Copies of this chain bind each other. A is one copy, B any other.
C-alpha cells in the first residue's frame, strides 16, 4: 500500500490457452486470469451501471465454459469472448486485481506481530494527526500494522482525545455510551470503574462485533500504581500455534461464552478465543477471563479445553510480552481491541486517575486508511 503513486502497469502481451488468459506487463511480470472472471468484470455500460458502477450483467447468463480470444490494443487487454461480447481491461486494473500478483480482496498492509513488549508502540503527535492527512495516514498505518500507538502532546481539553477518534470515524456507541471516564466509582457496573488490577483482556467480547479500536486519553493521574499494560494477542497466538498444536486446535474451534447483563441489556456471544479467517490466519482474539460466562461444552471436553485456555492465558501474562506504561496527562493510547489486549495494575484510590475512553469500529477505520493511501 504505497503512499506515493507507483508507475501504472501497462499490458505488453497476452495469450489465451486452455481457458487461461496470461497477461505480460511491461515490467515483465505475468498474471493469469480466468475467462469467466474477466467477463464478469467487464466495465462497459452494458455490463455495469454507468453511474453506480454496480454490475447489471447477470452472471448467470455467462456460460461456465466461456472462452476468450485476446489481443493487446493501445496497451489494454481486449477479450473477444465466446458469448459474442468484447471487453477491454486496463493494465493497472488487471495488475491491481491479479491474484498472482498479491491481490487478496482486502488491500491492507501486513500486521507485524510484536517480538517483545519491551519497546514503546509508535509515538505520534496529536496536533499533526489532527491537522495533517499525511500524519493521519502514518498514525493509522502504525495502528493497524503494530496494533497499538501512543499519541502525545494532547492539549489540556478533556475532549481532545475523542476529537482525534472522531477524525477517523463516528464513534461506536455501546452499552457504556459513546464516551466514558475510567475512574474509581462508589457504585461501579464494571470493574474498570474500581481501583483493582485488571487482567489483560479484549473489551466487550459479548458483542458479535466487538469494537475495533479503543482510545484511552489520560486527563488526570495523581494516584500511585495504575500503570497501563498492553500485550499483542496476535504474537501470543502465533506462539501457541508453534508450540502447542492441541491447545491451538481447541482454542481456534471450540467456543467460549461471554455475557453482559443489566436492566437494559442482555448481550451474549459465543466464540473461539482465537478466531481464524478463511485462510487460517488469526482474525481476532476474544479473551476476557472476568466476563467469561459458563462455556457451553459437554463435561467430557472440559479437562482438555481448560488446559488449552490456561496455556494461552499464561502466555499472555509472560512478562516479556507486556508493555507497561504510566500514562501522563496529555497522552493517549489507541489500540486494535480485537488483536491487542489491555489491562492495568491496581492503584491507590486516594489520588485521582481519570482516563476518557471511546471506540471506533474496524470497518470504518480500514476504509479510511484505504482512502488515504489509495492508488487504484
A51–B272 touching, CB < 8 Å: no
A264–B371 touching, CB < 8 Å: yes
Closest to A34 in B: B302
Given known pairs A49-B194, A299-B99, A307-B64, the reply for A265 and B33 (CB within 8 Å) is no
B310–A105 touching, CB < 8 Å: no
Could you say which residues of chain B place their CB within 8 Å of the CB of A299? 20, 32-34, 37, 99-100
| Given contact pairs A209-B209, A271-B278, a sample of 4 additional A-B residue pairs in the complex whose CB atoms are under 8 Å apart | A59-B313, A64-B307, A105-B269, A253-B278
Could you say which residues of chain B place their CB within 8 Å of the CB of A106? 257, 268-270
A157 close to B (CB within 8 Å): no
Alpha-carbon distance A115/B295, docked complex (angstroms): 33
Q: How many copies of the shown chain assemble into the complex? A: 2
Stretch at the interface among A132-140, A213-221, A286-294, A321-329: A286-294
Closest to A97 in B: B294
A166 close to B (CB within 8 Å): no
A267 close to B (CB within 8 Å): yes
Within 8 A of B (CB), among A292-319: 292-299, 302-303, 306-307, 309-310, 313-314, 317
Could you say which residues of chain B place their CB within 8 Å of the CB of A119? none
Partner of A51 from B189, B268, B309 at Cβ < 8 Å:
B189
B34–A296 touching, CB < 8 Å: no
Number of interface residues of A (CB under 8 A): 84
Sorted nearest first, the 7 A-B pairs with minimum C-beta distance are A105-B257, A266-B370, A209-B209, A105-B270, A105-B296, A34-B302, A54-B290
Could you say which residues of chain B place their CB within 8 Å of the CB of A264? 371
Alpha-carbon distance A49/B19, docked complex (angstroms): 65
A345 close to B (CB within 8 Å): no
Alpha-carbon distance A314/B292, docked complex (angstroms): 42
A60 close to B (CB within 8 Å): yes
Could you say which residues of chain B place their CB within 8 Å of the CB of A100? 298-299
A36–B291 touching, CB < 8 Å: no
Alpha-carbon distance A56/B64, docked complex (angstroms): 59
B363–A207 touching, CB < 8 Å: yes
Alpha-carbon distance A268/B365, docked complex (angstroms): 11
What 1/0 mask marks residues of chain A from 316 to 344 whose CB sits below 8 Å from any chain B CB? Answer: 01000000000000000000000000000
A105–B367 touching, CB < 8 Å: no
B173–A170 touching, CB < 8 Å: yes
